Homo-oligomer: A and B are copies of this chain.
């Protein structure tokens, strides 16, 4: 396949002249223009997008950085982002950091060198200070926020923590535990739910244990081991609050142990990914609006890339409690199953 160099050689002009002719920018003599056009025809040269992007300093590529795309929340988020970006004419590059912050740095470098036009990030390995070095459009989901530079799309996690706590109180739980993010580097919005949850419980006089979960660890094996250890330490717990995957593993473990859900132990799952729709007993969850989050993130990023005015602020979307069997009273459960 002929390249721009071949065209330049055949036309007897410089690469710069070829690019000026092909991009209709800058001066080229009428004679040079004709020679280039003839060479293009003879060589059946196809305008190369890499070359064109180089001149325009844009790649039409957006990178999405996630901790682990095989985790349901991130898989769903990326799926929607990819569709939205594609419809706007952008390709999607993905990067699993698996907790490795050098990955994030590398992508910020790529942004600085115009290899990607923008970055959507939902990781939390590199600190905000690192992100400040970004020399291009970055939008964060729920993590870094640099007013005037990096907008953040988040949800109302405080409300989420409160809704979960009230649901356990409504059905009379007396000893609950919550799985909690370790604040290894900075405080991020999604951690807000933990504080509100604990406070609400304490105000109602209900004991709340905090179980700290490792950063950037989404392996099922880790969840299984954690659940086994925690349950042997707190066998009398009657309410558990955590992310979808953790709660699902916990439910599975106690069912194996012969416990009844919701009679013996109740659960509220945080996130409301598609995992929630696969489980029986059906699961009460605090649902994050994943699709709306993704759409808003892409919208703000594209506005930044395309040079529209963007207020680099925090955008907060609502959460909702979806009722399932896992927090029903015995009567509610009976009615629910009768209705099916």
Contact = CB atoms under 8 A, between A and B. Distances in A.
A340 interface: yes
A44 interface: no
Contacts of A271: none
Contacts of A4: 54
A268 interface: no
Interface stretch (A146-154, A180-188, A244-252, A310-318): A244-252
Contacts of A167: none
B70 A75 contact: yes
B277 A251 contact: no
Contacts of A76: 70
A98 interface: yes
Contacts of A15: 14-16, 19
Interface in A11-25: 14-16, 19
A287 to B, nearest CB: 14
Contacts of A113: 46, 48-50
A278 B16 contact: no
A54 B55 CA distance: 11
A74 B79 CA distance: 11
A127 interface: no
Nearest to A248: B278
Interface of A: 1, 3-5, 8, 14-16, 19, 46, 48-51, 53-54, 57, 59, 61, 68-70, 72, 75-76, 78-79, 82-83, 86, 91-96, 98, 103, 110, 112-115, 135, 220, 224, 245, 248-249, 251-252, 255-258, 274-275, 277-280, 282, 337, 340
Query: Nearest 6 pairs between A and B by C-beta?
Result: A70-B79, A75-B75, A14-B14, A252-B280, A15-B16, A255-B280
26 contacts: A1-B135, A14-B15, A15-B15, A15-B19, A50-B53, A50-B113, A50-B114, A69-B75, A70-B72, A70-B79, A70-B274, A72-B72, A78-B94, A82-B96, A83-B98, A91-B93, A92-B95, A94-B94, A220-B278, A224-B277, A249-B278, A252-B278, A252-B280, A256-B280, A256-B340, A275-B275
